[in-house]
Amino acid sequence: MKILTFSSLFPNNIAPTHGVFVRERMAHAAAHNHWMVTVLAPVPYYPPIPFGWRRQYRSVKKFETVDGLEVHHPSFFMIPKIGMFLQGFLLFVSMWNIVRRLRDTVGFDCIDAHYAYPEGVAGVLLGFVFKKPVVITARGSDINVFQHLPLIRWWLRFALRRAATVIVVSQALQGVVAELGVPLDRIKVIPNGVDAKKFSPLAKVEARKKLGVPPHQKVLLSVGNLTVNKGMDLLIRAVRAVLELPGFSDIKLLIVGSGPQEEGLKQLISELSLEDQVSLVGKVDHADLSVWYSAADVSCLFSEREGWPNVILESLACETPVLATRAGGIPEIVQSSQFGLLVDRNHESIVEGIQSVLSTAWDPQVIRQYAESHSWDHVSDRLRDVFESIVRRPSHA
C-alpha cells in the first residue's frame, strides 16, 4: 500500500523534535506493514528578509529522509493570526501542485492527514480533487481548542464529516468528535504507542551520574513545551511548598522543554528562591530522553488539556511512575495506581500528590510491562485494518 502522510507538525532539520509522535507512528507502521509512506510536511512561506522568528523556516530542507521515510517540506502561504480561518483552504491551494506531482511519480492510495485543522481540511479537499480516500487523525488541541472558534468549527465539521475514517487518540476525544457530527462507526480510537527499545530503563545511579544529579536526591521530572497549558508554574510552586514539609527538604526538579513561558518561569524560580532546586534544562533530543526519565523518581504532567501525551508512556517504559492531572486521555493511560497517581489541577492536590508519589514503593517491573503492552507494533496492526478497509471501499475505486 502507498500512503501520503500529510502533516505540518513533523520533524525537520531545524526542529528535530517537532511532531515526533507523527514520525514515530508512520515510521513504525511503514516498517511493520511493509507500506510505502511518503510524507508531505509543509512549512510556512517566509519572505527573504533578515528579521522575524519565522525566518528559520527558510532553512528547512526541501527534501530529506527521516527513519526511512521520504519527507518533502514545500512552503505554503499563510496569514498569521487573522488568516487562521483560511489556513486550511490556503494549505490546500499551496499543496495542490506538489500532490499532483507525487501522484504522478510515486503514487498513493490514500491521504493520511494528521490534525483535523488545518491539515484535515486541506486533506479532504485534496482527496476530493484526486479522488482518494482520506483518514484524519485528531490528536487533541486541534479539536479541543478549535471547536470553540465558530468559524473554524465550521471547517472542522466540514472535514471530519467527509473523511473516510477519523482516528482519535483517546476515548475522551472520540466523544468530542462525535458531538461534531461524525457517526461513531467512522471514528476509530487508536492511541499512540511507545518504542520500548528506545525508551528502556537505565540504572538510576548510572543515569544520574550522566546528568550530574546527586544519587541521594528525590528527583521530579517534567517533559513538555513551556506553555500555560502544561502547568509548569503549578509544579514549581508546589515544589516550593513541599520543600517546607518534614522529610522533603532535598528535592530536585528538572524541566525539559522550551516555549513561550520560559522567561516567566525563570522569574518565578528566582522569586521563590529555587535556583538550586529547579533547573530549566531546555530541549533534549528525543533519543536521549530515556536517560532523564531513568534518573527521575517521578515524571509530572499537569496539563489542562491533552490528547494522548506520549511522555507518560515514555516515562513508564523507563520504569518511572507518573503524577498527572485527569486531562484528556491521561486517565486512559494511567489506569491503575500501580503506574502513578492522578490529581486535580490545583495547588493543594498537586502538593499532596508529590508527597504521596515520593513516599510510595513502586514496582518497576509492573510499570515497564504495562508500557510494553502499548507498543507501536500493536498500533500498526490497528492502523493496517483501518487503511486497508478504506482503500478497498468501492466508492474510492
Cis bond upstream, residue 191 (ω within 30) = no
Question: Distance between CA atoms of 231 and 40, rounded to whole angstroms?
Answer: 32
Its pTM stands at 0.90
Question: Distance between CA atoms of 240 and 173, rounded to whole angstroms?
Answer: 34
Percent of the chain with pLDDT over 90: 83
DSSP 175-235: HHHHHTT--GGGEEE----B-TTTS-PPPHHHHHHHHT--TTSEEEEEES--SGGGTHHHH
CB neighbours (10 Å) of residue 320?
A: 28
Question: Distance between CA atoms of 373 and 396, rounded to whole angstroms?
Answer: 35
Domain positions in the chain: 2-193+376-396, 204-372
Contact 143, 173 (CB under 8 A): yes
What are 125-134's pLDDT values in tens digits? Answer: 999 999 999 9
Give the per-residue SS3 of 264-287: HHHHHHHHCCCCCCEEEEECCCHH
Query: Span 6-10, mean pLDDT?
Result: 93
What are 186-206's pLDDT values in tens digits? Answer: 999 999 999 999 999 999 999
* Residue 57, pLDDT score: 73
Given a cut of 70, whether residue 150 has pLDDT beyond it is yes
* Residue 51, pLDDT score: 65
Kindly report the CATH number that applies to the domain delimited by 204-372.
3.40.50.2000
Query: Span 177-181, mean pLDDT?
Result: 93
Percent of the chain with pLDDT over 70: 96
Residue 35 dihedral angles phi and psi, to the nearest 5°: -90, 155
Give the per-residue SS3 of 6-71: ECCCCCCCCCCCCCHHHHHHHHHHHHHHCCEEEEECCEECCCCCCCCHHHHHHHCCCEEEECCEEE
Residue 389: name the closest of 110, 23, 137, 4 by CA. 110
Beta bridge partners of 189: 168
Cell reading at 144: 479541543
Which residue has 518511572 as its cell numbers? 320
Radius of gyration of the CA atoms of the chain, in A: 22
Cell reading at 69: 521515510
Listed in sequence order, the residues at least 6 apart from 162 whose beta carbon sits closer than 8 Å to its beta carbon are 124, 128, 134
- To the nearest whole number, what is the mean pLDDT of the chain? 93
Which of 158-162, 198-202, 304-308 has the least mean pLDDT? 304-308
Beta bridge partners of 131: none
What are 36-94's pLDDT values in tens digits? Answer: 999 999 998 766 777 666 677 788 899 999 899 999 999 988 776 666 888 999 999 99
The amino acid occupying position 142 is D
Fold identical between 2-193+376-396 and 204-372? yes
Query: Span 318-322, mean pLDDT?
Result: 98
User: What CATH number matches the domain at 2-193+376-396, 3.40.50.2000, 3.10.20.30, 3.90.180.10, 3.40.50.620?
Assistant: 3.40.50.2000
Residue 65 dihedral angles phi and psi, to the nearest 5°: -110, 125
Q: Is 249 exposed, middle or buried (0-12, 13-18, 19+ CB in 10 A)?
A: exposed
